[in-house]
Amino acid sequence: MKSIILFTMLGMSSAFCFGQSDSTANDSIPAKSTLTLAAVYANDASYYGQKAQQANPYVAIAANYQLKSGFYFTAQSYKLLNDNTSPVSTTAIGAGINFKLGKKLTTDLSYSHSFYPSYSPLLQAANVDNASLVISYDGWIKPSLTGDYAFGKTSDAFVTGGLSKSINLFSISQKDIVTVSPSADVVAGTQHFYQTYITQKKLHDSILGIAPIPVLGNPSSSYTDTVATTSFNVLSYNFKIPLAYNRSHYVLQAEYQLSLLSNHVAAANKVNSFLTFSFYYQF
């Protein structure tokens, strides 16, 4: 998820097989420089399986330019559909490199910076910078380990362990393939971002004259709440089912995500669902 919300959607030039006959053979480092463009719609914004108190459906456009050397550059722009204050709700830029540590072992180092308006309703708005390290093994089942350090007004660290499997289902013609790539992951980390989100939301709501919604227990529980958000704990268990139609230069994908939050999570809602539709085109 990695960052907002696709939030790292932009390993995308390596995340889809673009019509190859065997998606498990897809190399994360391209044989030539590639430019991938994306358009995305989601019914809500996910941040490591968590979401804000109010729904934040959005549309996004993104670009990823990856060099043959493994270096890549990303740019993303998001529009929250319930935000009428500006045509763009947030933007992000980033850069990274991916390279092989072995025949099937790959690593990815990246950094991104996001630009959020004042009183952004997104959970991660306090952490405008994100540094990420991903190590994955491209076997029959693909295990991966991700470390994220998000910082800005506050700072948080996350570790994600995941398993995924790309399965070729069928072809409609000789030039396409339909795939499904189920995955499961466990996220552990801190939650300083949530404390900042609640503080900013209270300020925003007070300006609008909206009565505050009680969160994180009762007013006398500040010590317990601080411990919960600053301790490093398991946060969520996430299950994704992306169904994709792949051709040589583009991919259409629908993805369902179910997130089960642990008791350590500050948010009251412990079960979240997300539905995303994406279109990717690679030059």
Task: Decide if 214 is inside a domain.
Answer: no
Q: Determine the Cα–Cα distance for residues 161 and 150; give it in Å rounded to an integer.
A: 17
Task: Decide if 218 is inside a domain.
Answer: no
Task: Decide if 265 is inside a domain.
Answer: yes
Q: What is the pLDDT of residue 28?
A: 53
Q: What is the pLDDT of residue 260?
A: 97
For residue 185, the enclosing domain spans 9-116+127-189+232-282
Residue 81: is its pLDDT beyond 90? yes
Task: Decide if 201 is inside a domain.
Answer: no
Task: Decide if 122 is inside a domain.
Answer: no
Q: What is the pLDDT of residue 177?
A: 96
Task: Decide if 90 is inside a domain.
Answer: yes
Please state, rounded to an integer, the average pLDDT across all residues of the chain: 84
Q: What is the pLDDT of residue 166?
A: 96
Q: What is the pLDDT of residue 4?
A: 41
Question: Do 253 and 220 meet the contact criterion of CB atoms below 8 Å apart?
Answer: no
Residue 3: is its pLDDT beyond 50? no
Share of the chain above pLDDT 70, in %: 80
> Residues 57-80: pLDDT tens digits?
999 999 999 999 999 999 999 999
Task: Decide if 269 is inside a domain.
Answer: yes
Q: Give residue 75's Cα distance to chain centre.
A: 14
Task: Decide if 139 is inside a domain.
Answer: yes
Share of the chain above pLDDT 90, in %: 68
Q: What is the pLDDT of residue 205?
A: 64
| Measured CA distances, 262 to 40, 209, 265 (Å) | 28, 32, 6
Q: What is the mean pLDDT of residues 258-272?
A: 90
Single-letter residue type at 177: I
Q: Which of 25-29, 91-95, 146-150 has the lowest mean pLDDT?
A: 25-29
Q: Which of 69-83, 102-116, 193-207, 259-273 has the lowest mean pLDDT?
A: 193-207
Q: Determine the Cα–Cα distance for residues 254 and 273; give it in Å rounded to an integer.
A: 14
Question: Do 279 and 252 meet the contact criterion of CB atoms below 8 Å apart?
Answer: yes
CATH number at residue 53: 2.40.160.40
Q: What's the total number of domains in the chain? A: 1
> Residues 178-230: pLDDT tens digits?
999 999 999 999 999 998 888 877 776 665 555 554 544 443 344 334 445 67
